[in-house]
Structure 1
Amino acid sequence: MVVQAETQSLIHGARLCRTAPRVSHLLFADDCIIFGRANLREIMVVKDILQTYEGAFGQKVSFEKSAIFFSKGIPEEERLLLAAQLGVPCVAKHGNYLGIPSIVGRSKIEIFQLLVDRTRKKAKDWKRRFLSGAGKLVLIKSVLHSIPTYLMSVFALPSQICQRLNSLAANFFWGQKDEERRIHWNRWSKLCRPKGSGGLGFRDLRLFNQSLLAKQVWRILLNPETILARSLKARYFPRTYILLASNAHNPSFIWNSLLVGRELLLEGIAWKVPEVWKETKLTDFILDNPLSWDLDGLAEFLEPGDLWKLTSQIVPSSNCPDSPFWPDGKFNSYTVKSGYHLACSLSQRSEASSSNQDESLWHWIWGLEVLPKIKLFMWKCLAGAIPTSQALLSRSINIDPLCRRCGNDIETLEHALRDCPWASFIWEVSPLRLSPTPANGQCSIAAWFEIIRQIPHGEIHKSFANLAWAIWHARNLLVFQDKEISHFDCLSASQRVIWHRLVSAPKAAPPPVAVECRRDHQVKIFCDASVVEGVGVGIGVVVKNKDGLVLCCCYGFSHGVFTVLEGEAKAVHAGLQLCKDRNFDDAIAVTDSQLLYWRLVNGELDLSYLGDTLAGIRLLAAELRFCAFTWTPREGNANADCLAKLAKSSRSDFIFSDVLPNLGNLSSLS
């Protein structure tokens, strides 16, 4: 009814500028906003629409919970008159719509302070509970960091708000309960690094905010016909793309936020024809009869390497859109995860090495089959976050630096866990029978952990981590509760630390899948590829009938630059082309690439070079009477695999045959 009234010019929606499309309403479930001109005629039209809706559906509109908001140019007397006619209160400031502020004023910090308040309340409720460090880590990632996500996908939060949110998360993680100060043993920026780089994988909210906003720019770029895209284009970039839009006069806060996301998008976006897309289209370089690339035209714009990469792909159809793609994203489309990873890598380019430790040592810690709290303890040992007497003294804490047990040496982490006579004896009598101190007696904790990591036995690694935690736990009982436990009790405690979390068993390799034909005349097309990086791909195709007899085959080498997935797709394309040429119109295409199989059956749009090959595969499949795709392990695709290796080895042009060549010694080719 609203659309019909707008079509008949009974109401007029709002618009960003004169050339922008009008928006008459926003509807989501029972949350509705209707836009119109501030005059009695349109107010009565809206009232009539609402009354008609009530009579037709039996749902009464709650005018008491509704409100009307006017722009600045409407006099106060006229506002009150129009509000009385509609029967709703007049408000000076509209609230939120779907949880997002409808109007953002000058004070951005005041608007987004609600995120800080919600996060503080949530963390305050948790502080009353006894949570391990590992439990806090999970709650921060799954709850605290999810609170601002919705608003961050629309607005660029002020840096002060991000700092306050980070501060709340850091205080909660390091154990602050009320307003007391606690030592933060590592910078928050270090905790935001990936686990494999010495961090804990917390989100950097500023960079995450940017990656969310880049997603909105990506959607506008790929969907220019949406109302949002058309409105923004009319206001900010009427003659170009959003990626080339310049600064506008008096821009809105949302537009400024999108520009923040655009900065990240420009760092990672890729184009099939670099620098050409601004003035021409990819399809301008495709010749008809036969379908082929315009090599002379492309050579004017592309470097030899880029030209080879492009022209080695399947020639797309003439209606194939010339779209950008995101090389690191799923289906070569932008994802927030890939954008965040790019933002983090760009942020760390100018920094020094993220850690003094080898990344393999960090991966080893997080891969241990022990309780999460013990993994976190091991991380703290390497990150220098264990509150030994020496560490506290270095933080200007007035404390006796000597070991509480032996009283002979300063309590360093090495001393507390290994060199103290009490701890040394436990290592000697433990089932591990590990030498507690290397021969030089000066081994650091990191070097000690590395020595243990080199032992090729997973059970020793697990027992080592459990016993190290038990020794530190016994030390804490002595220091904070004045409770002395024996060596035997400490060993028993390490044995009682059991892996409670369910760990999925390693997945066994799936058995070969028998691909059965459903009809007598149906054929199976086995396809495989063997890539030579930077040179080309060897392709092998074998067509078999219902009984498994070879009907025909082909193999050959295609020069160009291909990834493994692109090579596998090119093999399927060659198989379907062979099937079409031999007039087999009922086929099942078989590949041993699970990723390619999911790409084919999923149907998601892929914007990269691979997408052109996938589109070509689907076009060939549509020309057959029936075509399906399936997956089989490599063992079930042995013939095609051998042909692909033969093509890779011989570098020959495509050879077609009704019988398989001698494949006796080809299974060992690489």
Structure 2
Amino acid sequence: MNFLVFSRAIPPELCSVEILADIFRLRRILPHIISPIQVSFVPGRQITDNILIAQELMHKFKLSKGNKGFMAWKIDLSKAYDRLNWKFVEHVLVELGLPCPITKLILCCVSTVRYQIYMNGELTDQFLPKNGIRQGDPLSPYLFVMCIEKLSHLIEDSVKKGVWKPVKSSQSGPAVSHLFFADDLVLFAEANSTQARVLKSCLERFCNASGQTVNYDKSVVFCSPNTRKETAKEVSLICGSPLTEDLGKYLGMPMLHSRITKLTYGSLIDKVHKRLASWKSKFLTLASRATLIQAVTSAVPIYAMQTSKLPISVGQELDKLNRNFFWGGSEKKLKIHLCQWDLACRPKHKGGLGFKKTTAMNKALLAKVGWRLHQNDKGLWAKIYESKYLKGKSVLDSSLMFRQDCPTTWKGVMYGVELLRQGVGWRVGKGDTTKFWKDSWLIDERLLKHDGVLHIEDIDCSVSNFFKDEWWDLDKLRRALTEDLVQHVVNYPVGFASNLQDCQIWKGTANGVFSVKTAYNMFFKDPSWPDYSFSSLWKLKIPPKLKIFAWLIAQGKILSNEQRVRRQLTLDASCGVCEWPIETTLHILRDCYKARDIWNTVLMPRHQGHFFQMDFLPWFQTNLLSQAVWCSNIPWCLVFIFTCWYVWKWRNHQVFQGDDDVSPYPKQLIVRAVHEWFKASHVLSRHNHKVQVDLKWEPPISGQFKLNVDGSRRNGSGHIGAGGVIRNSSGDWISGFAVNLGKGQILEAEIWGLFFGLKLAMDKEINNLVVELDSALAVQLIQKQGLTDVHPLAALVASCWELMHKINCCSVYQTYREKNSVADCLATWSYNLDLGLYIFVDAPAWIGPSLIEDLLRFTRSRLVPTDLLV
């Protein structure tokens, strides 16, 4: 940094930030300099990789027969960070080829530390250490990983020389000599005295150079069952570590030597039980309990479930603990559970509370391991599975079965693959690999099983057989499929102009990449009450406890006397306030005379008649999701749910405590609570202020052409279309188009519009082209932000790139809709056309007003966030 230039100076307090910013660049090179067996702190590697490998090798040990035994030496390094020699650190950094200034900077950070010890209530004088790196320092993990890599080099050299005999999980699989995760080390070799001496020699050489010390008493040696007892004892004596019949836990997971039982993962139940026991549920609202379950107890078993299928009894016990805590019950006294746990475990947008059912989450997490195999992960664990189980087959192959003698980890993976098969589909590129009838590419099921099939000429034909002139062969499609299905086919984002190959993707996500969340959601079908928007409920800015209350109302789970009779808690279904024969949820919240009196104080007079005439669900949905404003800019939905809460609260006081707690001025209490919440949430929320600006279409500069494109979708029918126009610097119409794309999503329409616009420009031999569209997401995809080969739109976007490369000087920008009115009109007009593309050499008469407005530089107003203003 040039400190002579004042403009480049930085405040002293930011110097450490600048240093760390440079140091963190080390992460980028770690995957290239650290061997695959070290998975800690290396981007792209996961701790579960080594667990899977270790379990495979333990299974190998278990099944070993004959005279050749195997050993695993689990090593405990004593104070590994504190003992690291600084000279050794310098040697490692130099050997890795780091630039001299970076090396000096790192050593300066390491060696300039000062320590004080808090002793007898007082701090000692500062002193300088002579070795060691600080735990908690962001640089330390990377330095330690690079230093421990030297031990890996020593081991690999011994293996190459044939001195060290590593272990193979299968005959054709890769050999494994060691597994590292930071300072957790496990060494593998054949079990004999010669190999034991080789292992100890490598370890001692590394310790002498690095300053490390092995705690031999805490380290253990495990030998395969077929190893002779005398040999095992000799190996243990040479290594200096005790012999064990159970390797215990590795990276927090038990090394399984037999079948899994409830006792194997009993610690998970104990952990959750201790967490829940530390909280007093009776002092917490349902919303508070829900937060604790989602953030704490549901996370406890996640780590274990990533690599192993838990016993069903363990999952049931964990669910039971969470369920009883949420409803406030205990083993001694159970409280009423207002709904089934399966309903509470549904995703929020599907009518649930978003809790995680343990067995379903377990399967979704194991499906992720299967997805990584399916995506050809390059890790050592994947190579072991490929050589031992897959043998060239896809992990989705239905013929791929596991034998009963397979390790529990592989059985768990295959358990997850069952779910994976349901969510994997095809992303069509060139269309020559995907089978039109047999593969799942258009909808969730294969077209072969769809009711919309009319005629099948060739059951093995590929999707590309239905292409014609860089578009679909509509005549052929209509002979094979019903019109409704054809409407879905024609908008499918295939790569007519690209060479992108077909590939399998995850259909549950927008980007085609597997996610545990969407895999878990596959367990739950859409709710049977599609008229109610639960997603909107959870987005409301109301107190969390009232969100839970609103959810219970929407589900009809409020404990009215009608519900209490159904649960055999009472024989009297009448209202305890007005003695109405049947007390329903609607009666409690609105129709009881006391509730009605309260509502009349809150409601505007002009709304009272309609308010009391609606059925339950329409009444609740309309008011809760209302965008209306009550007074003082307070949303009506906030007043509505607060009033429901107080009506329910006052009713319970009167019925169960005989206390008519209703204030003579209920409106004042409700309004005060509403104002307090509104003020607090308004202060805490970050509002992005908007200003009104005037926008108009801007013509391109002289010598350039401008292509405006837009997509459109009708929410009711799902029909989509696109349109676009090319104009010169004078605003003259060069050419335009509209295309009816059948049924699909708006983003597909936007990208299709860009594709046909670029194709039109190329056919017109237009160069120096500026493209504008009003979809930010579409522009991001074109600019390759968040786009991978498995993205559902990857083939269509690739086709757009191909066309852009053929046009000399072509750039794509996002614009506001107010600047894109002509393209918007063309896209909307496409609904009046038959399926397919229509070119307008001259401007249609109905587009004239919008064109004239652009020519006259007519402005349109829009509220724009201040941070987007240039």
Q: TM over 0.5, yes or no?
A: yes
**8 A contact 1:432–1:464 mirrored in 2:** no
CA 1:629–1:165 in 2, change beyond 3 Å: closer, same or farther? farther
Partner of 1:333: 513
Partner of 1:264: 419
Partner of 2:181: 28
- How do 1:138-153 and structure 2 match up within 5 A? 138-153=291-306
Match of 2:190 among 8, 12, 37: 37
**8 A contact 2:708–2:771 mirrored in 1:** yes
User: How far 1:255 moved relative to its partner?
Assistant: 1.8
User: How far 1:137 moved relative to its partner?
Assistant: 1.6
Within 2, Cα distance between the matches of 1:655 and 1:394?
65
- TM (norm. structure 2) is 0.62
**8 A contact 1:512–1:635 mirrored in 2:** no
Q: Is residue 631 from structure 1 mapped to residue 803 from structure 2 by the alignment?
A: no
**8 A contact 2:767–2:809 mirrored in 1:** yes
Gapped runs of 5+ residues in structure 2? 1-152, 440-459, 631-635, 853-870
User: How far 1:173 moved relative to its partner?
Assistant: 0.9
Q: Is residue 664 from structure 1 mapped to residue 819 from structure 2 by the alignment?
A: no
Q: Is residue 457 from structure 1 mapped to residue 610 from structure 2 by the alignment?
A: no
Within 2, Cα distance between the matches of 1:470 and 1:314?
61
User: How far 1:221 moved relative to its partner?
Assistant: 0.8
User: How far 1:177 moved relative to its partner?
Assistant: 5.0
For the residue of structure 1 that corresponds to 2:157, the secondary structure is helix
1:391-422 per-position Cα deviation (integer Å, ceiling 9, x unaligned): 55654547998876678978765565455554
For the residue of structure 1 that corresponds to 2:179, the secondary structure is strand
Partner of 1:606: 789
Partner of 2:444: none
User: How far 1:11 moved relative to its partner?
Assistant: 2.5
Match of 1:8 among 139, 146, 161: 161
CA 1:230–1:468 in 2, change beyond 3 Å: closer, same or farther? same
Match of 1:179 among 332, 337, 341: 332
CA 1:508–1:172 in 2, change beyond 3 Å: closer, same or farther? farther
Partner of 1:375: 547
User: How far 1:602 moved relative to its partner?
Assistant: 1.7
Within 1, Cα distance between the matches of 2:802 and 2:820?
24
- TM (norm. structure 1) is 0.78
Opposite residue 122 of structure 1, the aligned amino acid is R
Q: Is residue 487 from structure 1 mapped to residue 663 from structure 2 by the alignment?
A: yes
User: How far 1:667 moved relative to its partner?
Assistant: 6.9
Within 2, Cα distance between the matches of 1:170 and 1:114?
19
User: How far 1:481 moved relative to its partner?
Assistant: 6.3
**8 A contact 1:293–1:311 mirrored in 2:** no
Within 2, Cα distance between the matches of 1:158 and 1:385?
32
Within 2, Cα distance between the matches of 1:22 and 1:376?
55
**8 A contact 1:286–1:292 mirrored in 2:** no
User: How far 1:474 moved relative to its partner?
Assistant: 3.0
CA 1:602–1:30 in 2, change beyond 3 Å: closer, same or farther? farther
Aligned residues: CA RMSD: 4.9
Within 1, Cα distance between the matches of 2:585 and 2:774?
51
Partner of 2:747: 565
User: How far 1:73 moved relative to its partner?
Assistant: 1.2
Opposite residue 497 of structure 1, the aligned amino acid is A
Number of residue pairs aligned between Structure 1 and Structure 2: 644
Compare 611-620 and 451-460 and name the one that shifted more: 451-460
Partner of 1:246: 400
**8 A contact 1:312–1:559 mirrored in 2:** no
CA 1:577–1:41 in 2, change beyond 3 Å: closer, same or farther? farther
Partner of 1:351: none
**8 A contact 1:426–1:487 mirrored in 2:** no
For the residue of structure 2 that corresponds to 1:343, the secondary structure is coil
Opposite residue 345 of structure 2, the aligned amino acid is C
Within 1, Cα distance between the matches of 2:720 and 2:618?
44
Partner of 1:223: 376
**8 A contact 1:285–1:293 mirrored in 2:** no
Compare 507-516 and 592-601 and name the one that shifted more: 507-516
For the residue of structure 2 that corresponds to 1:27, the secondary structure is strand
CA 1:24–1:648 in 2, change beyond 3 Å: closer, same or farther? farther
**8 A contact 1:539–1:647 mirrored in 2:** yes
**8 A contact 1:538–1:648 mirrored in 2:** no
1:73-119 per-position Cα deviation (integer Å, ceiling 9, x unaligned): 11233222212222233222123333333326313322222222211
Match of 2:644 among 451, 454, 468: 468
**8 A contact 1:555–1:644 mirrored in 2:** no
**8 A contact 1:471–1:490 mirrored in 2:** no
CA 1:401–1:541 in 2, change beyond 3 Å: closer, same or farther? closer
Within 2, Cα distance between the matches of 1:413 and 1:647?
47
**8 A contact 2:721–2:739 mirrored in 1:** yes
Opposite residue 324 of structure 1, the aligned amino acid is Q
CA 1:551–1:432 in 2, change beyond 3 Å: closer, same or farther? closer
User: How far 1:175 moved relative to its partner?
Assistant: 0.8
1:303-352 per-position Cα deviation (integer Å, ceiling 9, x unaligned): 676996779633432xx44420223313122222222222212xx7xxxx
User: How far 1:387 moved relative to its partner?
Assistant: 4.1
Partner of 2:522: 342
Within 2, Cα distance between the matches of 1:494 and 1:169?
33
1:438-478 per-position Cα deviation (integer Å, ceiling 9, x unaligned): 989xx985576367569873534432321221133234445
Partner of 2:724: 540
Match of 1:92 among 237, 240, 245: 245
Within 2, Cα distance between the matches of 1:395 and 1:534?
43
Opposite residue 418 of structure 2, the aligned amino acid is E
CA 1:45–1:525 in 2, change beyond 3 Å: closer, same or farther? farther
User: How far 1:225 moved relative to its partner?
Assistant: 4.3
For the residue of structure 2 that corresponds to 1:182, the secondary structure is coil
Match of 1:427 among 590, 594, 599: 599
**8 A contact 1:333–1:606 mirrored in 2:** no
Partner of 2:289: 136
User: How far 1:120 moved relative to its partner?
Assistant: 1.4
User: How far 1:510 moved relative to its partner?
Assistant: 9.7
**8 A contact 2:779–2:812 mirrored in 1:** yes
- How do 1:30-179 and structure 2 match up within 5 A? 30-103=183-256, 105-127=258-280, 130-177=283-330, 179=332
Within 2, Cα distance between the matches of 1:146 and 1:589?
47
**8 A contact 2:532–2:621 mirrored in 1:** no
Opposite residue 631 of structure 1, the aligned amino acid is Q
Partner of 1:313: 495
For the residue of structure 2 that corresponds to 1:35, the secondary structure is strand
Partner of 2:673: 497
1:146-193 per-position Cα deviation (integer Å, ceiling 9, x unaligned): 222222222222222221111111101111256322111211112223
User: How far 1:615 moved relative to its partner?
Assistant: 3.1
CA 1:374–1:61 in 2, change beyond 3 Å: closer, same or farther? same
**8 A contact 2:510–2:792 mirrored in 1:** no
Identity of aligned pairs, percent? 26
Opposite residue 343 of structure 1, the aligned amino acid is F
Partner of 1:596: 778
**8 A contact 2:309–2:363 mirrored in 1:** yes
Within 1, Cα distance between the matches of 2:227 and 2:582?
76
